[in-house]
Structure 1
Amino acid sequence: MYAILNRLQQLPVIGNPNLWAAGNLLILLYGVLLKGWNLQPIVFIFWIEVIINIAIALVRVIFAHDKQPFLATLPSKVGALLFGGVMGIAFIMLTVTFSIGVFEGGFKSEGFEQVPWQVRLLVLNYLLALLLHYFLNKRYLIANPAEELMGTFMYLLILLALLMVLTQFLIPKVTGSSNNIALLTGMAVVVVKFMVDRLKLTLQQKTQNLPG
């Protein structure tokens, strides 16, 4: 099994980190373009994605060796996990607080019947990225626990800043507007999210020598 996964990791397409960003984009575009999602399912999935990011970051912290034996980094890992847990809860609360306005006009169930499948695909996409680009390529052997944690929080901070702009300017205008405007707004949110994902990958490729 390990040999098969290792071969997959070496394939030009499967082993390319950009596949993670493309997967996230396609999952959301499917809902927006084919299922006619309004902003509510998009924001809900964004909440889930924040939770996934934090969970994945904590997993990376646990297994980060920082070029040392596993037990040698245990004290720093405990501190990083405690800090990451507290900051993670804070980020989740801020994310919900700044985007809850999309539900003020009433809950619209359209599109939510597909959300469980989209969430499963999203989790699978993140797990594959973790497996291929952290464990199979042995990056965990040189990964620093603090850097793994801070990289994720910087990524989430950028997303949260964009979400604040969305909450203050776009959501009030979309509430009660036509379906076309809601669709365009949903597309804008998805595209901006994709651009931030690409920015994250670009920075990782420069600092970690990941394949482009």
Structure 2
Amino acid sequence: MSDARGKPVALITGATAGLGLALARRWALRYRLVLTGRRTSFPDKVPEDAVYVSADLSAGADAVASILRALDAASIDRLDLAVLNAGTGRYGDPFDEDAESIRETLSVNLATPVLLARHLFPFLERAHGRLVLIGSVAQGGSANLASYAASKGGLEAFARALREEWRGRIGVSMIHPGPIATGMHDKAGFDPKRMRRIFASPERMAAMVEETIAAERARAVLGLGRTLRHKLIHGARF
């Protein structure tokens, strides 16, 4: 299916940096894009038919309302693909994390995606589309990332539930990328030191995500072998 302009339509949250931006660049000619991020404007050149929505997912229902208004204003009533990629987190002892930081992590990574997925259901159903939830290898339980791991683990459970509830109507993919070379680690207060050598570039991870979506895989862990995942999750030194 496609919009009136002849292109399929894809929505990407967290599209102003990292994996989201790499996906936006990769799909710029293939899809009509609906892009969201915290910034007031998109930091990159986008096609004329792209839609950018400034929406902070920590705002919950208000952010979802902004996205829905933008879809309506652009006369978009169907989505072939929705990639809920936006994420945040803090690195450190979980007992040092304050309530506001915990709330923000759980809101951006879990609560708002759950709410947004519910509201995007009719858009995706009209196009027989696919919902893609972006998690993290940390969802298995990662040292010094308790709230982040909890939020991504919750997203994993949500994906399993949606696959059953939406079976035969909308595809659901849960993708857990390994570490990506972005500024998110610095913002979270984490210095990966020598671990940086195993980090995938956003462009490489975007290619792997695209391959996973094309294969219609229900679940995938990308970018790390089993041994490296174990070291990362359990805090082993590199």
Q: TM-score, with normalisation over the residues of structure 1? A: 0.28
The structure with the largest alpha-carbon Rg is 1
Richer in helix (by share)? 1
Higher RCO, 1 vs 2 (CA within 8 Å, ≥6 residues apart): 1
TM-score by length of 2: 0.25
More strand by share: 2
